Amino acid sequence: MVKDEKFVLSNGVEIPSIGFGTWQIPNGEIAYKTTLFALKEGYRHIDTAYAYGNEESIGKAIKDSTLKREDIFITSKLPSHIKTYDGALEYFDKTLKALDVTYLDLYLIHAPWPWQEIGKDCTKGNIEAWKAMIKLYNDKKIRAIGVSNFLESDIKPLIEATGFKPMINQIRYFVGNTQRKLTKYCQDNDILVEAYSPLATGELVNKEVFNEMAEKYHVSVAQLCIRYCYQNHTLALPKAVTPQHIKDNLNIDFIISDEDMNYLDSLENVGSRRPFRS
């Protein structure tokens, strides 16, 4: 089953092939209950961020799940505006404290620039933050490190300055907006692409263009779109808060034919073309 399968990162670390996204799930009862339910249903990969403000509730759900810590893959992210070595170390500690864990499985630089200043050149600051993350990785406080929303031009300076390549790039990726050039660069360089907003923040679910194909496979449009990401060798991070959607998003054990994959690959501008979000 797909939920039991794993991708292998460039350093040999295994990461569950589908994750539970928690963006826009508020801290408190909702984040706690949805995360706990996701874990009970079989998710073993939880994706959060300091900026989401829900790490505390997610950490409590992980504790209360009765699962072993080593059986859950936890991702969090350095806030986008933190672009210093010491700042990266400080906010990493804040995340550990909020989650109430002793290590992370994956830590990402959330964006190449502050969200309030999209497009700003923060190359120097990204390199400093990256150096801090390398230290945390070498100190075995993080099992893998990477970036999010980084273009090729943002990634190359990190590698040139440190000789250390990100293991993951988490980007906005869905049918009709797969950032082909960036995805190819990452996959050619053994950087796993994680697909956030695999349903275009819900926009794809109501698109008629997918209905007939979803019916053909006896699945929902959401399942079709998540499976599409998986068959393109990206790791989807669907977010849901209702029990049925949480369950369905993990159940993608069917195969989209080559013909249908080619058709889906050919689509453009199906959902929002906005390239970034938090």
Gyration radius from the chain CA atoms: 18
Judged by DSSP in three states, 240 sits in coil
8 A C-beta contact, residue 113 and residue 119:
yes
Q: Which residues pair with 16 in a beta bridge?
A: 6
Q: Which residue type sits at 31? A: A
CA nearest to 168, candidates 185, 184, 188, 144: 144
The rounded distance, in Å, linking the Cα atoms of 257 and 54 is 38
Of 109, 178, 174, 113, nearest to 142 by C-alpha is 109
Q: How many CB atoms lie within 10 A of CB 254?
A: 12
Measured CA distances, 109 to 1, 56, 202 (Å) = 31, 20, 25
Amino acid letter for position 89? L
Residue 210 is classified by DSSP as G
Pairwise CA distance, residues 147 & 154, whole Å? 10
Q: Are β-strands 14-16 and 6-8 bridged in parallel, bridged antiparallel, or unpaired?
A: antiparallel
Q: Which of 32, 43, 50, 52 is catalytic?
A: 52
85 catalytically annotated:
no
Give dist(CA 117, CA 38) in Å, integer. 34
Q: Which residues are catalytic?
A: 52
